[in-house]
Amino acid sequence: MERVISVALEGVSKTFHRGGEEVCALDGVTLAVPAGQFCVVMGPSGSGKSTLLHLVAGIDAPTAGRVRVDGRDLATLSDDERTLMRRRRIGLVFQFFNLLPTLSALENASLPLQLDGVRRAEAERRARASLVELGLAERLEHRPHQLSGGQMQRVAIARALVSAPALLLADEPTGNLDSHSGEDVLRLLRETATARGHTVLMVTHDEHAARIGDRIVRLQDGRIVSDLSTARSASA
């Protein structure tokens, strides 16, 4: 099992400038996600949940406050250090899958490893194992446009897991899927997180999806309005 990772936001705000106006996406959010927890962040559109996820991934910077991942303040890391952290310690899953259209499922899934300099054969061996585990043994050489939405999201999950990350960030992973595929994806995320002890931060606006988490944090207008442990957490 990989070493688990914790996430902490301390008084984090994020303001955007749009059309001459200041839009406050996050307003003094403080949140601690202990290592190994499956935390779901919920909220309506524009509540700031995706922004929160981007800040934790280090692909955006807060206007105020600190974001710590595994105890390290992201603001003190260089761009390369943040990138390497994403590559090796964090897995990302997006609503729109974000697979590279010219690469096959196998190549897409092996991308983080290849970026990390792992030899292509080895990278693809590991990616293949991930894809097979996710039920895509028959789709390894397919390009994204030859796959269904559910299959594409499973390839994206395989890509997120291939580097054996400690933290999984999922942004509306079922938002673009039919209910059956969505269910499938949620089950996969939960099972993997439990099996591998990942810390998970999942953003969604879907109440049904939220139930798989250990904890549900609700955001509204950039602020945390509730923070509850779920029955799953209690039973665990």
Partner 1 sequence: MNGSSSSTIDELVSAYAGRADITVRAAAGTLAPDALDAVRRVDGVRSAAGSIQGALLVGGTERAALPFIAGTGDEDAVREHVFETGRAPLRSGEVALGREASRRLGLRVGAALLALTPSGTRTLTVSGVLADAGVGRANGGFLAVLDFATADALYARAGRLDAVDVVTAPGAPAAAVMERIERAVPGAIAGTPESRGGQTKRLVASLQSLLQVVSALSLFVGTFLVFNTMSIAVAQRKREFGVLRALGARRRELVAVVAAEAAVLGLAASVAGGVLGLTLAQALLGAVNRQIRLNFIAGLADQLVVPWDRFAALVAFGVIAAVAGALGPALAAASAPPAEAMTTPRHTAVARPLRLRLLLVAGGFVILAGIAVAAQRGAADTGPGSAAALALMLAIAMAAAPLLALGVRLVGPLLDRALGLPARLARDSVLRAPGRAAVTAAALAAAVTMVVGMASFIESDRRTIFGWLDQAVNADLFVSAAPLGGSSAPVSLAPALGTEIERIPGVRLVDRFRQTRVDYEGSLVAVSSTDVNVYLSRARPLFAPGTEPYDLAKIIGRDEAFVSDNFARKHDVRQGGEIGLPTPAGPVRFRVVAVIVDYTTDQGLVFMDRGTYVRHFRDESVDSFAVMLEDRSREAEVRRALEALQGGVLFIQSNAEFKASIRAIVDDFFATTYVMEAIALVVGVLGVANTMIVAVLERRREIGVLRAVGALRRQVRRTILIEAGMIGAAGALLGLAGGAALAGITMVITESTTGWVLPYLYEWGTAASVTLLATAAAIAAAWWPARSAARLAVAEALAYE
| Binding site residues, partner 1, CB under 8 A | 51, 54, 57, 59-60, 79-80, 83-84, 86-88, 92, 94, 98-103, 111-112, 114-117, 120, 159, 163
CB of 36 to partner 1, least distance (A): 23
Q: 38-42 and 64-69 as β-strands: parallel, antiparallel, unpaired? A: unpaired
Closest to partner 1 by CB, 21 vs 234, is 21
Closest distance between partner 1 and the C-beta of residue 134, in Å? Answer: 17
Name the strand (E) or helix (H) holding 182.
helix 179-196
Using the minimum distance from each CB to partner 1, give the nearer residue, 189 or 216. 189
**Which residues, 6+ apart, have CB-to-CB distance to 92 below 8 Å?**
57, 86, 160, 169, 170, 171
From the CB of 54, what's the least distance to partner 1, in Å? 4
Please, what's the b/e burial string for 102-133 (b: 16 or more CB within 10 A of its CB; e: otherwise)?
ebbbbbbbbbbbbeeebeeeebbebbbebbee
Closer by beta carbon to partner 1, 79 or else 231: 79
Pairwise CA distance, residues 229 & 39, whole Å = 9
As measured in angstroms, the least distance from the Cβ of 87 to partner 1 is 3
Nearer to partner 1, 192 or 214 (CB): 192
